[in-house]
Amino acid sequence: MAQASRTVVTFRSDAFNTTEPRKYFINECCFGDDVAKWLAEELKARGVEADEPGQEDFGWFLNFSPAAGPHTLVLGYRPGDGDAPGDWFGVLERDCGFLASIFGGRNKGVQQEAAELVHSILTGSEKAREVRWHRRAEFDAGRAEAGSPSP
């Protein structure tokens, strides 16, 4: 049986807001609007269709359509613990519609091309550092040490 793809990315950055809640945030912790806008601009600069970012209750999401098909990147910020710095995380999902989403379709069929595109933006910019890719189950279980420098 093949191993699951790495569809969760983490990175550190000092370039984006992590301290000042905006009036339009659903919750005070909904940081990431500036990250999502930056990623959308970078995708468009590469000729990839990208929607305006939308807000989640904990962060933001960005729908984009590389040649591999429509995908969504869900973004959030995890504050550091004590003196440890915080980091950003992005969960790459396949945009598959409402009904398929109910049956777990968002986590199936995520295309490597979509992950490579996000990876190239993050690693090609001084705005992101310590980029790591994780398998969803390992990330959800708190095993971030199992991450890889590439998808």
* pLDDT for residue 9 is more than 50: yes
What is the spatial distance between Cα 94 and Cα 140, in angstroms, rounded to a whole number? 18
- The tens digit of pLDDT for each residue in 27-73 reads 999 999 999 999 999 999 999 999 999 999 999 999 999 998 999 99
Q: Report domain extents, the chain.
A: 6-143
If we measure between CA atoms, which residue out of 72, 59, 73, 61 comes closest to residue 22?
59
Integer angstrom CA distances of residue 50 from 54, 69, 80, 135: 11, 12, 30, 24
- The tens digit of pLDDT for each residue in 76-126 reads 999 988 888 899 999 999 875 654 455 454 566 678 999 999 999 999 999
Reading phi first (left if > 0) and then psi (alpha if -120 to 50, else beta), residue 104 is in: left
